[in-house]
Amino acid sequence: MLGEKQVLKKEPMSNHTTFRIGGEAEYFLMPSCEEEIIRVQNILKKYSVPCFIMGNGSNLLVSDQGIEGAVLHLGENFSSILVDGATIQAQAGALLSKIAHVSAGHSLAGLEFIEGIPGSLGGAVTMNSGAYGGEMAQVITKVCVLTPQGERKILTNKEMDFGYRHSVVADQGLLVLSAEFGLKEGDKEEILALIKELSRRRKEKQPLEFPSAGSTFKRPQGYFAGKLIMDSGLAGYQHGGAKVSEKHCGFVINEGKATAEDVAAVIKYIKETVMEKFSVMLEPEIKFIGNFEEQ
């Protein structure tokens, strides 16, 4: 089983989400290899203990009441990155920013767009994360997953059924263990320059100085969520410590001591207002974990 340092009890989830929000997890488990993940999942299933899988916590809003059961954290303990020629293989807990810089260090092009996405690989594969014209579907060749039955499987890019913020992972209840990228050799200085430029754009346009979960809403077809929110007059709208960023209206930020209920209230008001003004239903990109009113 897991070592003593790999199991935390009554662990505040605010320590593990980029929103810096969330009540306690009953058990917070940190496996370091595939065998430990499989073993832990089997035990949790045997005793009917609810289990939530998380990576960097960058797209989560965890309830103020916390999470019942166990959180299985695929993080630093499960984050190796291996380079073989123009191929990179990384475990689910590897941070996207680190993968991008490892890629650049080996003069491999194609992953520049992920440098500023504040998440880990498992979540990015699950959601087919993207930015600045790139997305995971364009660079992934295969993904290693664990099925609900505990079977280890390799899925090709086609079998992943990638779409906008979608993959087969959530549909089939799979757990991403690792992924392989097929890249192209390039000029290291040009790759690093592009990473630097994309990083500059993010800092210029996004409220990175405040805790948040990144883009709050998915892009509605034919529109941009941030512009709809801005045109609805909601820039700076605030409830408790949660606020619509004036720098980028597509972000709900934790301006200070915001609760999960504060954030949920802002999201609900945004959805209602945009629907009333433009007849467009915004769909949250962030995941609500725990007890919330219907969003």
Question: Dihedral of the CA atoms 257, 259, 262, 263 (nearest 10)?
Answer: 100
Amino acid at 104: A
**Tokens, residue 167:** 């993959």
**Residues carrying an active site annotation:** 165, 215, 285
**Tokens, residue 275:** 């629907």
Cβ contacts of 128-135, under 8 Å, gap ≥ 24 = 128/162, 128/163, 128/164, 128/165, 128/166, 128/167, 129/96, 129/165, 131/198, 132/198, 132/201, 134/110, 135/162
Q: How far is CA 253 from CA 115, 126, 244, in A?
A: 21, 24, 6
| Angle at CA of residue 49, ends 46 and 50, nearest 5° | 130
